[in-house]
Structure 1
Amino acid sequence: MDATDHAILRRTRLRIGLLVGLTIGALLLLAGGISYALLVHSQEAQIQRELAWGTAHGTIAGPPACSWIFHYDGMTVQTGLNPPPPGFPLTDALDTVATTRTTETTTLTRNGTTYHIRTEARGDRVIQAVFDARFQLSDRRHLLLALSLAAAVGLLAAMLTGVIVGRRAVAPLAEALTRQRRFVADASHELRTPIAQVHTRAQLIARRARTDGATTNLDDLERLIGTTRRLGEVVDDLLLSARLAAAPADRPPDPPVDLTVLITTTVAAETERAAERQVTLTLDTPTDPLPVPGVESALRRVVGELLANALTHTPAGGRITVTLRTVDNCAELVIADTGKGFDQADARRIFDRFHRGPGSGDRRFGLGLALLQEVVTSHHGTIEAEGHPARGARFTVRLPMRSPISTGRASRIRNLRTRQLRAGT
């Protein structure tokens, strides 16, 4: 698998782990919320029962420090032995109930706690029962703290479990992708020989037809040659894609490729074609070699395809500029043209496989630009496209002068040599 496939699988595993963790976390929160709601409901019901008992019998069975009973005969208020908190009894409620003879229930928050008050008329008196819910509030806080800790631990455990489940769930997909790549490589390799034979046989038949002066089926033979050529190019693309998708351990070390020589020879090969199309082709490269680690045939394909793409979309009288330079320890290749261009909104989608451009009808772009992006990415580089309709296009390829693998290997060799020298001394 290539870096893109690994990134997709990694994101899939993380998403599965996150979804499993969030689902289990949501279930824990739901269970905790239900437990908390049930606790609050039961406490409120118990408090109301205590208050109703207190107003009916003139006493409350709750803790003495948390409950008070007041008797009001219309003139004076009688309190029990337990001194009431500041602000009690509620004289306004006593007067109102004494006048209306209706039961009044009130909840007040003061003195750092919550009080539940029930004022009820009993015979010629009014009884007011007050209950301090500080212990119930403390129980709620303790329950919330326990639920929060349990939810945090449960969410962490759920996410870890989700990651493990996601890894095992995605493992068959990774194996399937590996088998698909291997099948593409094997099938493409087996197809190269018969396709090359068909292409060669078609060329021989066309050459004999020209020699014999038979022009009846010459056009069909030319189309057959073109078709087999394009089929061979597709097979080469598939082989190149499969090679680039191989794991780094399965690939031999990449030798340095001199981009200066590679680009110069590629541009020189397209000079005659540019002249036929009346397109000005200019090249600007450094005089010194510019080596980058990579596969020479793959990098040559990148330069050739970008240049061919520019020639295809640049009309007569246009201009194509190829520039190679060094930027921040990276080799930067810029191919700019004054051709048809494209909408900048399609800058990312043109690298998708078989992307259809606007107004292209049934024509598809195939593997071309998608394969180029795959080649550049496998070389730890980047490729960007910038375009404007009727104002040309600009493709920028950046390749690191040293690959991370080569740098790490060189560092290990230097460390080994240092240890050997120290041991020798």
Structure 2
Amino acid sequence: MTSPPLSDLTVVKRAGRIAAVQASVALALVLLVVGGVVFAVYLRAQNRQIGAELRTLAMTADDANDPPPDMELALRENNGHISTSDGGEPGVPLLTGATGFSDIHANGREYRTLVVDRPEGRVVAMTDLAPYHAGRNRLLMALGFAELAGILASIAVVVLLSRRSVRPLANALALQRRFVADASHELRAPLTVLHTRAQMLAHRVGTADVRTLQKDADALVADTRALGDIVDDLLASATMAARKQARDRVDLSAVAMSVRDSMASYAHSIGVTVNLECESADGTAGFDVIGSAAALRRALTALVDNALGHVHHGGTVELRVRRDGAKVTATVADDGVGIDPDAMATLFTRFSHGAEHTTREGREPYGIGLALVREIADAHGGDIAVASKPGEGATFTLTLPAAPPA
């Protein structure tokens, strides 16, 4: 029996855990290497210290009495007389051996010895290695604790960082899945309508009269145009946050006039009038803002299109552009059905929409346009606000920072 396929989120989390383990192992190995190097350097320095102390004692000792702590002496004069310090007896056999350094064990202790020949005789200097071994053990213990603490800390840090680095990707995948699911849901209905109309048109070719075929063809074209609008909304919404917005000087009144002209024919076909008014508070300031003309046109088009969908036949949509100090506002007001108070909280949420649409016969709401307006407003450092009363229409106000004087 095969196991079910893993979700993208599960794969991302698993990859993050694997990366955390690999990074932790790598850091642990680095810490172990560093600890080994530190210990090797310490041993080398310790051996040099022992050698230097033995040479100093062997070359400066006048007799075997009172050697430094943890050090012993054995001397043989040229006349054969041998003398030792209190604990120097283990060095007597070396008085007849070879010169140089060596390690010996005697009386349960380990000594490092140095045999040198001097004009007055042979000298054996010895030092007890127990204190040095104790220092090495303390260093090893300290390094062990440091290594363990470092490894645990590195694991914790790597796990934390990996989780933080994976979380945005996991969130992006979740958002992508939600977007695809919602888009698929929104596109399914118009695609079904298109398919049905195309089938009907194919069946009627050769049998129906020209007027019926023309009606079906016009309906098919209208549905195709509606589907194109949805796709445009989806693409614009998906790319709005991903690409860097243009930073041009844009005359918002000119953008509003272009939107009014482009929407006038459609508004006339549904019996609605679109009016445009541009007003400056001091009568001289322009309506320039900094941003993307294409994005701002899209925002105003979405607001006007939304108003046209909620106004009654014979109604009016007012598009007003106003300059007031450091702000430029574009207001779209209609005298339609208004907005349900329960829908106000989610009005600018993607795929959220109200139920009252008066002039869009056969055209379903998709709840993308107003969410896109909010994204465009945020990208331009502005804001979008709405005021409405059920049955008295709605007013949307897009507020943008005015461009500095040219």
> TM-score, normalization: structure 2?
0.45
> TM-score, normalization: structure 1?
0.43
